[in-house]
Amino acid sequence: MIMLHELGHFATAKWSGMKVTQYFLGFGPRLWSIRRGETEYGVKAIPAGGYVRIVGMTMLEEVDPSDEARSYRQASFPRRLLVAFAGSGMHVILAFVLLFSLYAFSGAPTVTSPTISSLGQFSKGLSPAQRAGLKPGDMIVAVDGRKVTGLDSLITFVNKHPGDALTFVVDRNGHDLTLRVTPVDGRHVVEVIGGQRVQAANPSGPPKGVVGVVLTDVRNVSVGPLTAVGRAGSQLGSMFAQTFSGLAQVFSLHGLSNFAHQVAVAGNSKASGSSAASGQGSGGGTILSIVGAVQIGAQAARQDVAALLYLLAAINLFVGIVNLFPMLPLDGGHVAIAIYERARSRKGRSYHADVAKLMPVAYVFLLFVVLIGLGALYMNIVNPAQLPGG
């Protein structure tokens, strides 16, 4: 993701005629590199990000006079904006592609008719579902001539008919199939769940029909490519709004105070993680480190591909938006400087900002970012982040 961000800067700088001298994964000592033309490509020892080096990003940089004309600072205003925005633009494109893949291929979670996710196991003998031939993936369409309208109504109906032969109509791979299922009285049934024996119903309670299935009314449903484009665009817009709302919440005075408290008590309490993009989660949200992002990413991958794709889209959008904050060394700082210089320039005379005056503020901002990052890293190591619902 980071190298695709840098690829956006790299490609637009090359297209704009700027001189690009390096495109590297990682920081620190060089492990491997190769030169092609005027650009060196390679890998460094600390895989904590990556960078592309464009000549003359600020007026503080010393540039060979022969390269000055091709420096970033001498480029036209539109081309400087293009290069500065390109990194975040790549994140938006990636988020859209991930959302498109979610809707078109893996399918988005959609409320459907009750569907059998798995068959239960009885301690003695086969369950009614197994005897009748029900299978995981069967969508229950009707029971005893009554159209199934929801999960709760289906469970209530079956619970009221222990010992009665019921006619189930299920949709299996697009074809309707009629099966006869006779619920048994759960008061006399022991189920095996996760290797443990569990009584299916209160032995001293009223009769309760059970058939031995685990039901869900949510499944991933994919759509056609054109529909997926529209839904991905709509979802991207919603995620933009959620991201800005989450940032305002988490980085408010109250949010930062809450984050400081979470860091202080991290060793004594179990702090729960939150979405890196929306800032939503228990306790009003928190800030994740790269370790926390990997933790919830692994949990999302265990849930299903759809959850992972959505999470990756959210992270990309979050990184893209945050990177446009108008402060060096973020790309938004270069955007702000370009706009300021354009506003101060007069016809025939370009104005160049004194970036040295901005550096004390930039150092304070960088220190703030480092402290936030270290605090989040500490929290995610002491109390691993948890994906809501995961």
Give SS3 for 157. Answer: helix
Q: Which residues contact 147 (CB under 8 A, 6 or more apart)?
A: 141
Has 6 been annotated as catalytic? yes
Q: Which residues contact 224 (CB under 8 A, 6 or more apart)?
A: 104
Give the span between the Cα atoms of 254 and 102, in whole angstroms: 35
pTM confidence score: 0.79
Q: What is the pLDDT of residues 106-132, one digit of tens each?
A: 999 888 889 998 998 898 889 999 999
User: Which domains does the chain carry?
Assistant: 2-75 (no CATH), 108-221 (2.30.42.10), 225-382 (no CATH)
Q: What is the pLDDT of residues 346-377, one digit of tens each?
A: 877 889 899 999 999 999 999 999 999 999 99
Q: Is residue 321 classed exposed, middle or buried when 0-12, 13-18 and 19+ CB atoms within 10 A define those classes?
A: buried
- Out of 6, 40, 62, 191, pick the active-site residue: 6
- Cβ(135)–Cβ(170) under 8 Å? no
Task: Give the dihedral of Cα atoms 25, 31, 37, 39; nearest 10 deg.
Answer: 40
Q: What is the pLDDT of residues 163-185, one digit of tens each?
A: 999 999 999 999 999 999 999 99
Q: Helices marked H in 251-304 — which ranges?
A: 253-264, 290-303
- Of 193, 69, 189, 63, nearest to 127 by C-alpha is 189
